[in-house]
Amino acid sequence: MASLRDIKTRINSTKKTSQITKAMEMTSAAKWNRGVMNAKSFVPYMEKIQEVTASIALGAGGVSHPMLTHRPVKKTGYIVITSDRGLAGAFNSNVIRRVHQTIKSRHTSNDEFAIIAIGRVGRDFFVKRGYNVVLDIIGVNDQPSFQDIKDIASTTVGMFSDGTFDELYVYYSHYISAISQEVNEKKLLPLTDISTSHKLTSYEFEPSAEEILEVLLPQYAESLIYGALLDSKASEHAARMTAMRNATDNAHELIRGLTLSFNRARQAAITQEITEIVGGAAALE
């Protein structure tokens, strides 16, 4: 049985841990609020650029572009968005597991695919297993701007345009609510799902539709990556906030149990001392 000193030490250390997890929960809550606002504020822009792109690509008639065209798939690129840190519950493991299972089911050789990793956890996982990580970025701000990922986004889209990849997917955690997130797989390129639920607008093109799409389509693809990152950041902060809240609650429950054990052990020690005193007094009579 643990001594009173051991139990007291465990109570003190658990209290300190609960203070840390509570502080992390409050920090994540503040970041979560901003992250959700950033993700939601980006939606109108994405809807508009999708509507404009669809109107030009589908409404011009006969317009073709490499980003809109299927080609034989020789190599696939996977953009994997995770966090740089842990302590976020199953946030990272769910994304990594989904990508890993997909790769195992689709490919028989490492030459058939490559990884573009946004986040330290995902990068380290695939590097340790010998996968081909051709691009990576770590240290992305908790409230990222487009400039934070512009280079990797434009480079990734360029790798599709120059034929390095024949198709490109992005995997990230989609934010649903503070306690619910799900892993999303989105086919980024070629842009086969470029239709819109809104009524297409008729535009007059100056210069030609082909020249406009030459500029607009890469921007659209890069915006999809940025939108996925914003969504993932909102999910990360929500997952970490929930994980830290659960850790704090578990610490408090453990403290209650340890305090009960401490009181019982102290009562047993007091009872033992009284018994010994009474026994000693009786022996002197």
Reduced to 3 states, what is the DSSP secondary structure of residue 88? coil
Residue 196 pLDDT greater than 60, yes or no: no
Count of Cβ atoms closer than 10 Å to residue 111 Cβ: 10
pLDDT at site 79: 96
Residue 18 pLDDT greater than 90, yes or no: yes
Residue 171 pLDDT greater than 70, yes or no: yes
pLDDT band at 207 (very low <50, low <70, confident <90, very high): confident
Let me know: does 81 contact 138? Beta carbons within 8 Å.
Answer: no
- Spatial CA neighbour of 91 closest among 30, 29, 181: 181
pLDDT at site 244: 95
77-81, 179-183, 277-281: range with lowest mean pLDDT: 277-281
Domain extent listing, the chain: 4-24+243-284, 39-239
Q: Catalogue the long-range contacts made by 41-46 (C-beta closer than 8 Å, 24 or more residues apart).
A: 42/226, 42/227, 42/230, 43/227, 45/223, 46/223, 46/224, 46/227
- Residue with token string 């409230």: 143
Over residues 45-68, the pLDDT tens digits come to 888 888 888 777 766 555 677 788
pLDDT at site 199: 60
Residue 205 pLDDT greater than 80, yes or no: no
Residue 197 pLDDT greater than 60, yes or no: no
Domain 4-24+243-284 fold is Helix Hairpins (1.10.287)
Radius of gyration of the chain (CA): 28
Q: How far apart are CA 210 and CA 56, in angstroms?
A: 9
Domain 39-239 fold is Pyruvate Kinase; Chain: A, domain 1 (3.40.1380)
pLDDT band at 241 (very low <50, low <70, confident <90, very high): very high
pLDDT band at 202 (very low <50, low <70, confident <90, very high): low
53-57, 145-149, 205-209: range with lowest mean pLDDT: 205-209
Over residues 87-141, the pLDDT tens digits come to 999 999 999 999 999 999 999 999 999 999 999 999 999 999 999 999 999 999 9
74-78, 122-126, 201-205, 252-256: range with lowest mean pLDDT: 201-205
25-34, 49-58, 247-256: range with lowest mean pLDDT: 49-58
Mean pLDDT of the 204-231 span: 85
pLDDT at site 60: 57
Q: Write down the mean pLDDT value for the chain.
A: 88
Q: Tell me which of 58 and 168 has the higher pLDDT.
A: 168
64-68, 169-173, 234-238: range with lowest mean pLDDT: 64-68
Q: pLDDT above 70 covers what percent of the chain? A: 91
Q: pLDDT above 90 covers what percent of the chain? A: 59
Q: Tell me which of 69 and 44 has the higher pLDDT.
A: 44
